[in-house]
Chain A
Amino acid sequence: DAGVIQSPRHEVTEMGQEVTLRCKPISGHNSLFWYRQTMMRGLELLIYFNNNVPIDDSGMPEDRFSAKMPNASFSTLKIQPSEPRDSAVYFCASGTRRPDYEQYFGPGTRLTVT
C-alpha cells in the first residue's frame, strides 16, 4: 500500500491567497484526520471525518479554514484567505475505528505564508 498521500509537500504563498491541501487516505480506512503542527502549539487536531462525514470540527481555528471529504478516497483542507500565522506543517492521517484505531500519518504539507 502507498500509505497516506498528501499534496503538495511544500507550499509557499502570499498572505491573502487561497491554499488547498489534499489528502488521499489508505484504501479501506474509514476515518480521516487533519492535524496542524507548530513549534509553539505542538500537534493540533483540526477536524476528523468518519465515513466521509465530519464528526468534530471544533479544532478548526476560524472560518477561514474549511475541510471536505467528497468521497472515501479524497479530502481537502482549504484556507481562504491565508495569513502568516497559518504557517505550519499540516498532516493528514487515516485509520479505522476498529479494532484499536491506530492512525497512519501522511508525510505532511509544509505551508509557508509570507
Chain B
Amino acid sequence: SQQGEEDPQALSIQEGENATMNCSYKTSINNLQWYRQNSGRGLVHLILIRSNEREKHSGRLRVTLDTSKKSSSLLITASRAADTASYFCATAPDSWGKLQFGAGTQVVVTP
C-alpha cells in the first residue's frame, strides 16, 4: 500500500518559475525522502529530512516537514527544463530501511 500521497498529480510550469508539491502520509516515520524519476530511468534520491527536522535545503531544493500534520513539501526554485520528471516522496516507517513511496507528481517545465 502507498503511504505517501503527492499533490498535485501533475504540474506544468515555465522555466524560471518555482514548483511546489506536497506529500501527506499516514503513520509515524523515521525520515521522509524525495526522489526524482526521469522518463524511462530509475529513481534518484534528492533529499532526506529526519523526523526531528522542520526544513532542509539542497541547492535549488527546499523541503519542509510538519509531523503534526503528517505532511511534507518540496519546492524547486528557478525551475529548468531539465527538472521535468516525476517526483516521489517516500517514508521510512521503521529502521530496516524499507521505504513506502507515493504515487508521484509529474512535473513538466517548458522553456
Interface size range of chain B in the complex: 20 to 34
Contact check, A31 vs B97: say whether CB atoms are below 8 A apart: yes
Contact check, B97 vs A106: say whether CB atoms are below 8 A apart: no
Given contacts A45-B99, A105-B35, 5 further A-B contacts (CB under 8 A): A33-B99, A42-B104, A56-B96, A93-B42, A104-B45
Interface mask (B80-111 → A, CB under 8 Å = 1, otherwise 0): 00000000100010011111111110000000
Interface mask (A97-110 → B, CB under 8 Å = 1, otherwise 0): 10011111111100
Task: Tell me, in angstroms, the Cα distance from A40 to B35 when the chains sit together.
Answer: 19
The 8 A-B pairs of least Cβ separation, nearest first, read A105-B42, A101-B97, A102-B45, A105-B43, A43-B101, A31-B97, A97-B97, A42-B103
In the complex, A50 has a CB within 8 A of chain B: yes
In the complex, A112 has a CB within 8 A of chain B: no
Within 8 A of B (CB), among A63-109: 91, 93, 95-97, 100-108
Interface size range of chain A in the complex: 20 to 34
Q: Which residues of B contact A (CB under 8 A)?
A: 2, 31, 33, 35, 41-45, 48, 50, 88, 92, 95-104
Task: Tell me, in angstroms, the Cα distance from A45 to B88 when the chains sit together.
Answer: 14
B90 nearest in chain A by CB position? A103
Contact check, B44 vs A101: say whether CB atoms are below 8 A apart: no
Contact check, B96 vs A48: say whether CB atoms are below 8 A apart: yes
In the complex, A12 has a CB within 8 A of chain B: no
Task: Tell me, in angstroms, the Cα distance from A102 to B58 when the chains sit together.
Answer: 15
User: CB-CB < 8 A to A97: which residues of B?
Assistant: 95-97
Contact check, B41 vs A107: say whether CB atoms are below 8 A apart: yes
